[in-house]
Structure 1
Amino acid sequence: MLPLMRVGAKQLRGIISLIRGNSTAAYNFETVNVTIPKPFVYHVELNRPDRFNTFNNALWKDLENCMNELNTNADCRVIVLSGAGKHFSAGLDLQGAMAMAQELAEYEDIARKVRYVGKVIKLTQDSITSVETCVKPVITAIHSACVGLGIDLITAADIRYCSKDAWFQIKQIDIGMAADEGTLQRLPKIIGNMSLARELCYSARKFKSDEALNCGLISKLFDDKDSLIKGALELAEEISSKSPVAVQATKETLVYSLDHTNQEGLDYIRLQNQALLQSEDFINACMAQATKGEKPEFSKY
């Protein structure tokens, strides 16, 4: 390694870029499309429209890799997540599931079959959970069908908007399985109604956008997909204007506090704010508030 004093400014910026994540690198995924419609706002689209954005191995891998890359991208402050084509997501790709069944048939011993299936489920769980563990807020923009794994996905997100044509269905029980990618864990906490959560999970009945809004799964309803995407991007732009370290610390604390006591959550945020209260972001934001001046521009980190 070159001594630091011999590294030029251009080289040093390159090293810093590698450490922080190369924000200018192209995002080339088979099943996910990434664009940058506004500064610091990344739009991630599930991109299997011919299969109604159903999840197969490629989509699980692409989604997790995309979220992990954006997690360390200094130019990304907020993510809008939507689906290309007719539906947001129709859930599980049954053709892919049949392929897994064929691979499973190669194992004769029950213990090895169980081990194989457990490994596959863990990979799919990690893919969905990457939306929750990404420190950048994720706003989902849902149109038309949001079925099965689609609900697993949106319940891992921070904010859920939908169009009036959206409908939802926790479908897994209709194909002889229980939802195993997060709906059973996250949905009851989101809507705060265990009776309704169990009804929806046991019956697999469809529910429309107005019911999703009324029960708290969705926070805002739009007339159509175009206005939905526009509204999601406007919110993303507003959030992106805030201090990125403050926003990310807020998300981390909210996620941490979901399964910890109030006191543990208070201890966690105390540690976060020991740093944030000494940050240049805090000083600049306070000055702007006090003087009613223009919004401050925050550094990437």
Structure 2
Amino acid sequence: MAESTPYNHFSGTFVKVSSPTPYVALVELSRAPVNAFHEPFWVEMGKIFDKLGEEPTVRAVVLASAIPKLFSAGIDFSALSLGVHLCHRALPAPRRRCAHGVAYGLSIDILSACDIRYAAENARFSIKEVDVGLAADIGTLARVPKVTGNASFVNELALTGRDFSAAEALQCGLVSKVVPGSRDEVVAAALATATLIASKSPVAARGTKRVLLHARDHSVEENLHYVAVWNSAMLQTQDLMDSIKAARTKSKAKFAPLAAKL
């Protein structure tokens, strides 16, 4: 962990924020003993992600658990009356998310909202809501079928509530990498990828994310039109010139904060 942590002022009671590498925020869930979500936890996490989203120097976010043996046990049973609209509002969309140990129920909602997902080899998952008399309602049933492209597998998991392993999560496409080891190893792998993403043009990274999300929900023809319009505007930014100059001089491009361009 780097000595300089310019994002630690975003930390709260249940969510810790640091900056282990330039332009990367590490967000760690830290409500002992099992990171169970109740209303103050949700509200705090939502506010922190709102603030990180407004911080021009943040180019990638890694979401992990500060508790070594698990990511989250899901929702706090004493908070089952927590409004669904509040959960949707607080649900983050970081670029990276790493799971280790137990990741149940609400964890899958958070997992499915992330752009890139890694799991430690010891991770265990479950769409657990069916066991408490609920349908998963914070994104799992909307996102996971699209993420995996395997309706039969998702139906089985959602209707049985059974545990499934990191290997199964990889096989079905819920995660893109299984990292040998546990929390420290998967967080290190996630941070390495986030650092690589953060070294790229912020304009290109934002555009790529926006176009991919549009492609998920629209036809190929609609998406081609969308990206043409998007890039026609983005070609006017300084990032393109900086990238071309770096390529010609065989040097590493340095990009200004996104807010200075858009």
Taking structure 1 as the reference length, the TM-score comes to 0.80
1:297 and 2:222 matched: no
Tell me: CA distance 1:24–1:150, structure 2 relative to 1, closer, same or farther (3 Å). closer
1:121 and 2:84 matched: yes
Give 1 or 2 for the bigger CA radius of gyration: 1
Q: Which runs of 5+ in 2 are unaligned?
A: 1-5
Distance 1:253 1:229 in 2: 27
Distance 2:189 2:42 in 1: 27
Distance 2:114 2:191 in 1: 15
Distance 2:152 2:7 in 1: 47
Distance 1:31 1:261 in 2: 41
How many residues align? The count is 251
Identity %: 37
Deviation at 1:207, TM superposition (A): 0.3
Distance 1:192 1:125 in 2: 23
The answer to whether the 8 Å contact 2:119/2:166 transfers is yes
Specify the alignment match of 1:61 in structure 2: 43
1:248 and 2:216 matched: no
Moved over 3 A (4+): none
2:18 to 22, 29, 35: 35
The answer to whether the 8 Å contact 1:78/1:236 transfers is yes
Deviation at 1:290, TM superposition (A): 4.0
Tell me: CA distance 1:25–1:87, structure 2 relative to 1, closer, same or farther (3 Å). closer
Tell me: CA distance 1:271–1:25, structure 2 relative to 1, closer, same or farther (3 Å). farther
Give the superposed CA RMSD: 1.6
Distance 2:217 2:207 in 1: 17
1:157 to 98, 111, 114: 114
1:83 to 50, 65, 68: 65
> Which letter maps to 2:23?
F
Deviation at 1:285, TM superposition (A): 1.0
What are the within-5 Å matches in structure 2 for residues 1-301 of structure 1?
26-50=9-33, 52-85=34-67, 86-97=69-80, 100=81, 120-128=83-91, 131-132=92-93, 137-224=94-181, 225-291=183-249, 293-301=250-258
Distance 1:25 1:41 in 2: 12
Specify the alignment match of 2:3 in structure 1: none
Distance 2:171 2:147 in 1: 12
Distance 1:239 1:162 in 2: 19
Tell me: CA distance 1:206–1:233, structure 2 relative to 1, closer, same or farther (3 Å). same
Deviation at 1:147, TM superposition (A): 0.4
Deviation at 1:145, TM superposition (A): 0.6
Tell me: CA distance 1:249–1:226, structure 2 relative to 1, closer, same or farther (3 Å). same
Secondary structure of 2:232 counterpart: helix
Deviation per residue, 1:82-102 (Å, 9 max, x gap): 0121210110100222xx3xx
> Which letter maps to 2:148?
I
Deviation at 1:271, TM superposition (A): 2.0
Distance 2:51 2:210 in 1: 17
> Which letter maps to 1:213?
L
